[in-house]
A = this chain, B = another copy of it.
Amino acid sequence: MGPTIHDVARLAGTSKSTVSRYLNGQQVKKATQEALDKAIKELNFHRNANARRLVLDRTNIIAVVVDNISNIFYSGVIRGIEGVANVKGYNCTFLSWTSNYSEEISFLNLLYEGQVDGIILVSFQKRKNEDLERIRESQYPIALIGDHGGMDGIFAVDVDNAAGVYDIVGYLHSLGHREIAYISGPQHAAANQHRFNGYLQAMETLGLTYRPEWVVESDWSSQGGYRAMQQLLERKGFSAVIGSNDEAATGALRAIQEHGLNVPKQMSVVGYDDISISEWVYPSLTTVRQPFEAIGRKAAEGLVQQIEGVQDKKQEAIHLLKPKLIVRDSCGTK
């Protein structure tokens, strides 16, 4: 298994207790320190993490569970989480729950089995309320990013999805648009519902008429946005379209151009998310930027507080962060 603390002790002519103390930063005599340094180097000694964790009942690891590791969407969130975690002395490990999410919510086992000190669930897709209930009743440190299902007693951070779309509609309205189509995301996604609510609310507030035939559902992929837009183009009558995420908006952009219409002169397009490519499609996409890094930071801070017992369970709350409109070239005046 590699050298142990005993081997070091023997080589340095001292006891394992002294070695342990030295490794944990306690004071030892200068002579012993030198002997220990020498022995550790010579043996290439490393403390066994599993033995430490067993006795300490602590791992200093935070698990970040996402649905798809490579989702570009998460880049900023992850940066935020890692930043806070590292400062506080934790390492992050990332898992996809596609492989982990069977009948039981098996990522909870990471906690039950003592593999990690806490979990951040990134845009957790609950299948039933029971899932959230299970998370709540496990008394372990957990932070949710995304849908919290309106359940309290769970620490959750989310972006104010409704506000983002609300702002978009307001912006289009200020450019003179009155007829605004909408490409929604998948029904079941909570974020999608909130965004759509923002659309409805804004339309109503601004006195615009909501036309069901100007709303088409997509799966939030470019492909899906492309197809949705093709359907919308047959229905006519609107001068702007909102994609409920940037990928769908990118697909829509393509469909409009293939249809022979100029963006932004004949049709305005807005996305949502501000993924990195949005600046580089043609024309560059007006969109809404989510405060990803801030979300990640907030979640990590809340989690660490739970782990270290600072946070009173009662004080747990849902934190909503506001997104920001990014104006580029894909919208014109009507």
B-contacting residues of A (Cβ < 8 Å)? 1-2, 44, 46-51, 53-54, 57, 59, 68-72, 74-75, 78, 82, 86, 91-96, 99-100, 109, 112-115, 222, 226, 247, 250-251, 253-254, 257, 276-277, 279-282
The 4 closest A-B pairs by CB, nearest first: A70-B75, A46-B112, A49-B113, A94-B94
Partner of A277, one of B49, B69, B100, B277: B277
Q: How far is the CB of A108 from chain B (nearest CB, A)?
A: 9
- Provide the residues of chain B in CB contact with A257, threshold 8 Å: 282
Closest to A93 in B: B93
The answer to whether B70 touches A78 (Cβ under 8 A) is: yes
Q: How far is the CB of A102 from chain B (nearest CB, A)?
A: 12
The answer to whether B82 touches A99 (Cβ under 8 A) is: yes
The answer to whether B96 touches A95 (Cβ under 8 A) is: no
The answer to whether A54 touches B46 (Cβ under 8 A) is: no
The answer to whether B113 touches A47 (Cβ under 8 A) is: yes
The answer to whether B94 touches A82 (Cβ under 8 A) is: no
The answer to whether B99 touches A86 (Cβ under 8 A) is: yes
Q: How far is the CB of A137 from chain B (nearest CB, A)?
A: 10
Q: How far is the CB of A86 from chain B (nearest CB, A)?
A: 6
Closest to A276 in B: B222
The answer to whether B254 touches A50 (Cβ under 8 A) is: no
Q: A94-B94, A222-B279 are in contact. Are A114 and B251 (CB under 8 A)?
A: no
The answer to whether A54 touches B51 (Cβ under 8 A) is: yes
A50 to B115, CA, bound (A): 7
Q: A54-B50, A78-B69, A93-B95 are in contact. Are A281 and B282 (CB under 8 A)?
A: yes
A59 to B61, CA, bound (A): 15
